[in-house]
Amino acid sequence: AARHIVKALGSNKKLTFSARKTLAELGTQLSTIAALNETKGDGVSEIEDRLCAVEEKILSWEEDQSMIWDSGPEEASEYLNAADEARKLTERLESLCLNKDDDEYKLLHRAHNVLQKAMERLEEEFSHLLFENRQPFEPEHVSFRSSEEDVLDEGSIISFGDESIEDSLQRDSVSRASEEYILDLVHPDVIPELRCIANLMFNSNYDQECYQAYTSARKDALDECLFILEMEKQSIEDVLKMEWVSLNSKIKRWVRTMKIFVRVYLASEKCLSHQIFGELGAVCVDSFVEASKASMLQLLNFGEAMSIGPHQPEKLSRILDMYEVLSDLLPDIDALYSDEVGSPVRIECHEVLSRLGDSVRATFLEFKNAIASNVSTNPFAGGGIHHLTRYVMNYVKILTDYCEILNFLLKDRDEDDPSSLSPDMSPTKEEENKSSISTMACHFQSIASILESNLDGKSKLYKDASLQHFFLMNNIYYMAQKVKGSELRHIFGDEWIRKCNRKFQQHAMNYERASWSSILSLLKDEGIQNPGSNSISKTLLKERIRSFYIAFEETYKT
């Protein structure tokens, strides 16, 4: 239409100057508008074209039931690109500040639609990838199955009245702290894909869905791990009701599991969430905590339950094991859950540790009480080494392995020890050794003296004085030997050993005296001489000598 006007006007040579000027202005204005329309049209039509292409791609997978990532890397990256494109287009359209009446508004709507479908699909793919490519935890890889199911440690059925106690109370040889060790919890090939999807979803503001999919999948995986490690979930009530044999093996399993779980599994889990969410900020920490919290608390709950249970002395070494492992792992746990989000786990851990410490103290006291109150009604046959003695000395020997822990835990209660340092001071090694020895020395020596007084009581059951001494002699000798021949030597100290030996010798002497004195008295001169004469009555002498031989043989035999 504009051209018509121009043509018509052009032919009119008599146009005034102003008319021509106006026409010219009109002309330029019209052409600019036309140009604008074209570029706008171009821009939007470009968007539309690309949107159509993207839409096609994404919708083509809608009906397809198979997983995109199963169909090969090309399909996958094509889809990812399409989705990314959809996101960008959406952003562009949004920035055009369209109002409702524009055609472009409908375009934006379409774009959102496409984006939503893409995100929904990506979420599924993400979950699928995580699930299909998880690498189940294999304990063999981490030297897990050491002497696991020892039916029972020889002699680990321990109760004080038990006659059948073996001489060997083995300390369960749990391997010392293992190194931190990162496993591939998800097949490494898949990790870059997961990262791409995560980044894309987060950039498209679909972070919530992605996060949920991830934490849900990893929670399951962690549950699976604990299942493989044979840590069943148990209520506190159940644990309190468990009988000793199963409780014993459960504790051993727990100790091993804790080490592996924290140092290997959780460390790997944290690494995984870093690999996937590393570029996305706090999410990588949050997702780790969220996924692992429940399992960690489940494990700690067992520790809690153990500390609540009754303080039977036979539990002492097991509880010490638990305390030791948790105390060793504390720095690792603090590091893994160092953020605010992780504080509930840290707090719980510290709480359980302190409660186990209380439990150790209480059980140790119970141990002493049990020794003191171990009562026999009949004298121990044969006068040999009483099984109480064996038990106590062997147990004490085991406890030397936990020297550090016991020193730390028992220190506060140790009022008699003037040289005990406050835990806040950092003493030199020598001072530490001295003070730590004296704490343990005090306690162990008191145990020894409780044992001795108990043995004293038992010895009184013998009618025969010589047997009394015989009994004490044997037992004290055993005690001294046990101490001399092991690390207990350092704890009890040479002074104690000397004292012990003296006691032993004294009893030995008394025993000799007691057994032989009656016989020796037979050999004495008294009563042999006939009253009033200086000659020795032969018959009496013969009698005496005969009874001497008899008594000698008898004593010799016993």
Partner 1 sequence: MPATDNQGSFLNRISIRRNQVVSMDGNHEQELEDLELFQKHVADRFADLLSQSEDTLGDGLLSISWLRKLLDVFLCCEAEYKAILLLGRDPSQISKPPLDKLVPEFHDRVVKALDVCNAVSHAVETVRNYQKLAEIAVTALEQRPIGDGQVRRAKKALNSLMILLEEKEGSNHKSTERAWSFGRRSTNATTSSSKDRATSASQFRSLSWSMSRGWSAAKQIQAMSSNLVAPRGGESSSPALPVYIMSTITVFVMWALVAAIPCQERNGLLTHFPVPKQLGWAQSIIALQEKIGEEWKKKKEKNRLAGLLEETQRIEKLGVSLIVFADSFQFPPEADRLEEVAVQVAELGETCKKMEEGLVPLQQQIREVFHRIVRSRTEVLDLLDQGGKVTAPVM
- Does 484 bind partner 1 (CB under 8 A)? Our answer is no
Q: Which of 119, 122, 165, 349 binds partner 1 (CB under 8 A)?
A: 119
Contact at 8 Å (CB) between 181 and 264? yes
- The nearest distance, CB 376 to partner 1, in angstroms, is 16
- Does 187 bind partner 1 (CB under 8 A)? Our answer is no
Looking at beta carbons only, is 215 or 436 nearer to partner 1? 215
Report the greatest alpha carbon distance in the chain.
192
- Does 514 bind partner 1 (CB under 8 A)? Our answer is no
Please identify, among the stretches 44-52, 281-289, 291-299, 381-389, the one whose residues bind partner 1 according to the rule CB under 8 A.
291-299
- The nearest distance, CB 157 to partner 1, in angstroms, is 24
- Does 238 bind partner 1 (CB under 8 A)? Our answer is yes
# residues near partner 1 by CB under 8 A: 63
Written as one string, the DSSP assignment of 387-419 is HHHHHHHHHHHHHGGGHHHHHHHHHTT--S-TT
Looking at beta carbons only, is 66 or 539 nearer to partner 1? 66
Phi, psi of 528, rounded to the nearest 5 degrees = -85, -40
Please report, as residue ranges, which positions from 199 to 218 form the binding site for partner 1 (by CB under 8 A): 205, 208-209, 212-213, 216-217
- The nearest distance, CB 11 to partner 1, in angstroms, is 50
Q: Which of 78, 184, 223, 334 binds partner 1 (CB under 8 A)?
A: 223
* H/E run at residue 457: helix 429-459
- Does 109 bind partner 1 (CB under 8 A)? Our answer is yes
In 62-116, where do the E strands start and end? none
Contact at 8 Å (CB) between 451 and 390? no
Question: Which amino acid is present at 222?
Answer: L
Residues 6+ apart with CB under 8 A from 210: 123, 126, 197, 198, 201, 202
- Does 348 bind partner 1 (CB under 8 A)? Our answer is yes
- Does 177 bind partner 1 (CB under 8 A)? Our answer is no
Q: Which of 23, 78, 96, 127 binds partner 1 (CB under 8 A)?
A: 127
- The nearest distance, CB 299 to partner 1, in angstroms, is 13
Looking at beta carbons only, is 120 or 543 nearer to partner 1? 120
Tally of CB atoms within 10 A around 437:
18
Quote the tokens at residue 127. 């979950």
Separation CA 495–CA 210 (nearest Å): 69
- Does 347 bind partner 1 (CB under 8 A)? Our answer is yes
Tally of CB atoms within 10 A around 159:
12
- The nearest distance, CB 115 to partner 1, in angstroms, is 6
- Does 282 bind partner 1 (CB under 8 A)? Our answer is no
Q: Which residues pair with 529 in a beta bridge?
A: 536
Q: Which of 355, 411, 484, 544 binds partner 1 (CB under 8 A)?
A: 355
Whole-number Cα distances in Å, 486 to 213, 317, 401, 482, 537: 57, 18, 11, 7, 58
- The nearest distance, CB 392 to partner 1, in angstroms, is 13
Helix, strand, coil fractions of the chain, as percent rounded to 5: 75, 0, 25
CA geometry: angle 487, 491, 496, nearest 5 deg: 110
Whole-number Cα distances in Å, 463 to 451, 468, 469, 512: 21, 8, 11, 16
Please report, as residue ranges, which positions from 373 to 392 form the binding site for partner 1 (by CB under 8 A): 373
Closest CA relative to residue 443, chosen from 472, 480, 417: 417
Quote the tokens at residue 38. 């074209």
Please report, as residue ranges, which positions from 65 to 84 form the binding site for partner 1 (by CB under 8 A): 65-67
Q: Which of 344, 379, 427, 493 binds partner 1 (CB under 8 A)?
A: 344
Tokens 């043989």: give the residue.
553
Separation CA 171–CA 96 (nearest Å): 75
- The nearest distance, CB 274 to partner 1, in angstroms, is 22
Separation CA 248–CA 242 (nearest Å): 10
Q: Which residues pair with 536 in a beta bridge?
A: 529
Contact at 8 Å (CB) between 169 and 398? yes
Separation CA 86–CA 300 (nearest Å): 47
Quick note: the x/- pattern for partner 1 over 292-311, rule CB under 8 A, is --x--xx--x--x---x---
- Does 233 bind partner 1 (CB under 8 A)? Our answer is yes
Please identify, among the stretches 12-20, 26-34, 236-244, 266-274, the one whose residues bind partner 1 according to the rule CB under 8 A.
236-244
Please identify, among the stretches 274-282, 319-327, 370-378, 529-537, the one whose residues bind partner 1 according to the rule CB under 8 A.
370-378
Looking at beta carbons only, is 224 or 554 nearer to partner 1? 224
CA geometry: angle 399, 388, 370, nearest 5 deg: 70
- Does 219 bind partner 1 (CB under 8 A)? Our answer is yes
Please identify, among the stretches 155-163, 234-242, 389-397, 431-439, the one whose residues bind partner 1 according to the rule CB under 8 A.
234-242
Q: Which of 190, 247, 271, 365 binds partner 1 (CB under 8 A)?
A: 365
Q: What is the DSSP letter of 119?
A: H
Separation CA 92–CA 108 (nearest Å): 9
- Does 326 bind partner 1 (CB under 8 A)? Our answer is no
Residues interacting with partner 1, by CB under 8 A? 65-67, 100, 105, 108-109, 112-117, 119-120, 123-124, 127-128, 131, 205, 208-209, 212-213, 216-217, 219-220, 223-224, 227, 232-238, 240, 294, 297-298, 301, 304, 308, 344, 347-348, 351, 355, 358, 362, 365, 368-369, 371-373, 416, 442, 446, 450
